[in-house]
Every structure is written in C-alpha cells, then in structure tokens.
C-alpha cells in the first residue's frame, strides 16, 4: 500500500512522468495512516512540553503543526523523528509502534530549521550521505542523487559546499537529501523561517508543489499561520503542549474549537466579546458597516472608530463597541474599494455581523452552540 504512494525513484527516472503521474490511480488515502501518535507526553525537568497529543497523518497528506513558539510542536516532531524519547505515549509509523526504533530505522526524513547541512561535504556528498549510511550501491547513489538534484533544480550546485549557497539553495539541498531516502514521512521543522519574506512566498508554493509531486506524508512545523493556511491539507493547532484543534484550514478558520484558536488565526484575529456565560466572536472581515450587509439576519453593534489603517488592499479599523458593559477593543477589516463615507476616527457608526458569522464560546473558552 505504502510503496504505491511513496515516491520510488526507480520508477521515476523520468521526471516529467513523475510530475504528471495521474492521481486517479492512487488508492483512497483516507484509510492509510502513515504516521500516528498516541497520547504523547514529554516532560523536561518540570516543564510539560508535550501534553497528551494524539494525531494521525494520512499517507500523502500535508499536516501542519501550528502554534506559537515554545508550544511543543518542534518537540513533538523530534519525538516522531526519534531524536527525543517521549515520557509516555506511542509513535506509530506504518501502523507499527516505533518507540524503541532508532531514527535511522524509522523511515523518516527531516529538514531542519537551519537545514543541518554537513559543512565539510560537497552538495553531492550531502545528498548522498543518507544513502551511504544505508549501504546503497554506488551507481544507485549516483542515479538517485542526480535525480533528486534535477527535481529540485540544484544539479548545477553539486560540486559546491553549503557555505557557497544561498538560503534558498540550501533549503533545496536539505529537501533533496530528505527525498533520496524514499521516506515514509517528511518532517519539516520551520524550513522557510530562514528565508527572506519574498523568497519565502515562492518557496512556499514550490514546497507545496514538491509535496504534491512526491505524495509523501509530510508533517510541517510552523508558527506562521500564512504558511499553515496556504500549505496544509490539515492543520493541528497546538498550545502549551496541548492539541487545540485539528482540521482543514477552513474548518480551523471558520469554526475554531476554542478561543485560543480563534485568536491565534487571522490578521487581525477574531474579535471576542464577553457575554453572559462565555464569549462571542466574529472575524474582522465579517464586521462591516450595516449598509454593506443586506438581505440576511444581522446583529448590530454601535462601533466607535478610533483609528483607521490603510494597508493597500484593505482598511483596518480599530475601535470599541459602544453600549456594552465591558468596553472591548475590536477591529474591522474593510476591502480597500469599500467606501469609507461617514467612517472616521471619533465617529460612532452602526456596524453589523451576519448571524451565521457569529461564533460562541462557553465559560471555558470552548466552542459552543448559539444559546
């Protein structure tokens, strides 16, 4: 089953063929769990870095672990790779418990935040290293290294050393080195965080295309919600070592499981307003002047605008809701082309949210139905 979805270089000497491999031939991936964790905990001294996380990444899936720095996502990734031992819980790869299997026996490939390239080896030898450790025959190594280098467009760099490469090129080398092993799963630890903003955007789409080409289950750690939303098939939101929510980007964004997820995603994040028995939330882009919303059931709020930010594609309005017991800071996001007639700092306007866009949370911050 796995061999089918895994990218086997022996069948893909022709890269063009690899790129156009029809997806319809693949088995339904939903049933295949490439990797799973069961109740993983990890304690460092007195800190509980990972606190009972159970997750499954399906074969071919791009799963993103998203959370603020220090939330335990990298620790979880290192536990999956076998670089750390969990305090309790199990890691399963291909359905087998691998807690006692060393990293090299797990069939995982990892790309590190600073890439972890071997500075004393040429790019060729860097990519060949994992094959050498497996005792791969010489001609097979040559074939695979050249294949991976071509696929990632670094075949002209093979004679150089890592320090002679740019950040983007190093990242590709790290990917090529991960790729040649035919891993069951790719583990990527913030691989784009060392690139500048412009390069990051293009690397993001390249990485996604690459993953769709090789169809290998990928676990991608990031604290950047744009990366998570843009690349993930599913996103697992983690905070303080706990799994807050797993779901597709739209599920996570539209139906956050709790206040943390609601306030972690979105720029600006969801507005949360205290109410009896919990809180109520709405996204800034759904909080619009009343006259722009018509034909739907609305909830109206008097909004005192305090500041307007023009960001080119949109306006961000900062202000407070009037008339509520607790005055809460809220933001509204208006498309740049929307008219701002009558809206100015210090002015009180009628804003509204569609009832369907309102989210409710109970006293513990968990998602609740409309009371």
Interaction between residue 167 and other proteins (CB under 8 A):
no
To other proteins, the closest distance from the beta carbon of 104 in angstroms equals: 4
- Compare residues 93 and 305 and give the one whose CB is closer to other proteins: 93
Among 60, 67, 72, 130, binds other proteins (CB under 8 A): 130
Q: What is the rounded CA–CA span in Å between residue 3 and residue 363?
A: 48
Among 120, 198, 337, 370, binds other proteins (CB under 8 A): 120
Considering only the stretches 36-44, 100-108, 272-280, 298-306, report the one whose residues sit in contact with other proteins under the rule CB under 8 A. Answer: 100-108
Site string (171-190) toward other proteins, x via CB under 8 A: ---x--x---x---------
CB 27 within 8 A of CB 4: yes
Sign of CA dihedral 120, 125, 126, 129: negative
- Provide CB contacts within 8 A for 362, sequence distance 6+: 277, 278, 368
- Compare residues 89 and 103 and give the one whose CB is closer to other proteins: 103
Considering only the stretches 60-68, 117-125, 146-154, 341-349, report the one whose residues sit in contact with other proteins under the rule CB under 8 A. Answer: 117-125
Q: What is the rounded CA–CA span in Å between residue 307 and residue 329?
A: 11
Considering only the stretches 15-23, 34-42, 50-58, 118-126, report the one whose residues sit in contact with other proteins under the rule CB under 8 A. Answer: 118-126
Interaction between residue 70 and other proteins (CB under 8 A):
no
Q: What is the rounded CA–CA span in Å between residue 354 and residue 206?
A: 37
DSSP strand E in 179-241: where?
A: 185-189, 217-222, 234-239
Give the count of beta carbons closer than 10 Å to the beta carbon of residue 78. Answer: 21
Q: What is the rounded CA–CA span in Å between residue 66 and residue 74?
A: 10
- Compare residues 109 and 280 and give the one whose CB is closer to other proteins: 109
Where along the sequence are the contacts to other proteins (CB under 8 A)?
78, 81-83, 102-104, 108-110, 112-120, 129-130, 133-134, 161, 163, 174, 177, 181
């Amino acid at each position: 089953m796995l061999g089918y979805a895994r990218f086997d270089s022996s069948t893909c000497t022709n890269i063009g063929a690899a790129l156009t491999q029809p997806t319809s031939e693949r088995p339904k991936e939903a049933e295949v769990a490439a990797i799973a964790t069961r109740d993983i905990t990890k304690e460092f001294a007195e800190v509980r870095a990972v606190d009972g996380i159970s997750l499954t990444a399906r074969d071919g899936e791009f799963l993103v672990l998203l959370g603020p720095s220090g939330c335990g996502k990298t620790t979880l990734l290192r536990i999956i790779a076998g670089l750390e031992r969990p305090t309790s819980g199990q890691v399963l790869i291909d359905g087998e418990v691998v807690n006692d299997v060393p990293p090299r026996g797990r069939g995982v490939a990892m790309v590190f935040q600073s890439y972890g390239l071997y500075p004393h080896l040429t790019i060729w030898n860097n990519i060949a290293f994992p094959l050498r450790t497996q005792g791969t025959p010489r001609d097979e190594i040559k074939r695979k290294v050249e294949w991976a280098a071509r696929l990632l467009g670094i075949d002209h760099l093979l004679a150089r050393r890592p320090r002679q490469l740019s950040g983007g090129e190093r990242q590709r080398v790290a990917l090529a080195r991960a790729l040649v092993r035919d891993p069951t799963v790719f583990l990527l630890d913030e691989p784009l965080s060392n690139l500048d903003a412009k390069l990051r955007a293009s690397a993001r789409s390249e990485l996604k295309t690459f993953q769709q080409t090789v169809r290998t289950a990928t676990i991608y750690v990031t604290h950047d919600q744009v990366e998570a939303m843009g690349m993930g098939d599913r996103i697992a939101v983690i905070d303080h070592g706990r799994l807050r929510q797993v779901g597709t980007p739209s599920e996570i964004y539209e139906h956050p499981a709790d206040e943390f997820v609601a306030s972690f995603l979105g720029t600006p994040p969801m507005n949360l307003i205290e109410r009896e028995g919990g809180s109520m939330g709405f996204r800034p882009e759904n909080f619009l002047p009343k006259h722009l919303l018509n034909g739907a059931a609305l909830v109206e709020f008097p909004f005192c605008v305090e500041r307007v930010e023009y960001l080119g594609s949109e306006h961000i309005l900062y202000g407070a809701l009037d008339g509520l017991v607790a005055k809460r800071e809220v933001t509204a996001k208006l498309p740049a082309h929307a008219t701002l007639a009558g809206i100015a700092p210090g002015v009180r306007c009628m804003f509204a949210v569609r009832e369907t866009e309102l989210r409710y949370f109970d006293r513990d911050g968990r998602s609740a139905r409309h009371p």
